[in-house]
């Protein structure tokens, strides 16, 4: 079979593509439209990427034990050069994914908004596809913003929206999770 006939294909691009896209889009459209565009593009890519998620023949990713799923998810991203993700459950309605080496934040330019909008969308698309329903993802810390690591909160749209509201009111992540 010719590679162009494959249903799912991946390509490799330099890490600098994220910073370049973010800067050019922000210059042309502004900050919020840039975040929305990158998140939307990431969502579509993540939903498609579930086809490349590692599973044994006859195995469906949604049938994996929880610990095995998170291990494979981290390996999935690590193998592709994104970085290592670690899963934690700080709250019954919201899970967290953390990375000390997430590639989208590798840009040299600091950003008050964070820089992992594509990644948040990608994670949302992939997790939604696996779950068979919407999984919202929110970037809650970012190395490009000066945080120690990149972290993504995920859960139902209502739980993540409520968490976002708590964070907008100036609370820290731990306090916002307690307030949920």
CATH number at residue 129: 3.30.1380.20
The confidence score (pLDDT) of residue 67 equals: 92
Number of domains in the chain: 1
* Residue 109 in this model has a pLDDT that exceeds 70: no
Please say whether the beta carbons of 82 and 73 come within 8 A.
Answer: no
The confidence score (pLDDT) of residue 51 equals: 86
Residue 117: pLDDT band (50, 70, 90) is: very high
Higher pLDDT, 90 or 103: 103
Residue 1: pLDDT band (50, 70, 90) is: very low
Mean pLDDT of the chain: 89
Structural domain that includes position 134? 3-179
* Residue 17 in this model has a pLDDT that exceeds 50: yes
The whole-number average pLDDT for the span 102-107 is 82
* 140 backbone dihedrals φ, ψ, rounded to 5°: -110, -15
With a CB cutoff of 8 Å and minimum separation 6, the contacts of 43 are 121, 122, 124, 125, 128
């Amino acid at each position: 079979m010719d590679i162009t006939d494959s249903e799912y294909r991946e390509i490799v691009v330099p890490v600098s593509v994220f910073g370049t896209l973010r800067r050019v889009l922000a210059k042309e459209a502004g900050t919020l439209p840039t975040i929305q565009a990158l998140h939307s593009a990431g969502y579509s890519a993540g939903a498609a990427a579930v086809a490349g998620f590692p599973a044994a023949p006859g195995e469906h990713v949604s049938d994996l034990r929880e610990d095995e799923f998170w291990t494979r998810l981290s390996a999935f991203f690590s193998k592709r050069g994104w970085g290592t993700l670690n899963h934690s459950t700080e709250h019954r309605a919201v899970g967290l994914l953390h990375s000390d080496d997430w590639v989208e934040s590798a840009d040299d330019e600091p950003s008050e908004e964070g820089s992992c909008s594509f990644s948040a969308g990608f994670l949302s698309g992939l997790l939604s596809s696996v779950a068979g329903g919407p999984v919202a993802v929110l970037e809650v810390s970012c190395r490009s913003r000066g945080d120690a690591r990149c972290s993504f909160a995920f859960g139902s749209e209502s739980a993540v929206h409520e968490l976002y509201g708590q964070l907008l009111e100036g609370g820290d992540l731990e306090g916002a999770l307690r307030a949920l």
